[in-house]
Amino acid sequence: MHNIKSDRGGHAHRDIFQVLIPISGNFLVSLSDGLETKTFRMYAVTIPRMTFTTMTEFYKNAECKVLANTHYNIS
């Protein structure tokens, strides 16, 4: 992700396990398993499948590399 102008996420992936790595800048990521929500200032975080994820407060020129265990499917 780059040139991010608004919040991202707002959903969970059923089968995808992700790692988010900020390349420059920083942002907040909130993770929820349906019972508990935790918010982190992003450095790097792993996101298990079925964890609802929201990324906010992207600073100017923030970039994030996303690694996943499968190909992205827009379905």
Average pLDDT across each block of 10 residues of the chain; the chain has 75 residues. List them in order: 74 81 78 91 78 84 81 73
Of 13, 75, 73, whose CA–CA distance to 47 is shortest?
Answer: 13
Classify residue 63 as exposed, middle or buried by CB count within 10 Å of its CB (0-12, 13-18, 19+). middle
- pLDDT for residue 75: 65
Report d(CA 64, CA 53) in Å as an integer: 14
Q: Looking at residue 35, what is its pLDDT?
A: 94
Q: Provide the residue ranges of all domains of the chain, joining segments of one domain with +.
A: 1-48
* Helix-strand-coil split of the chain, %, nearest 5: 0, 45, 55
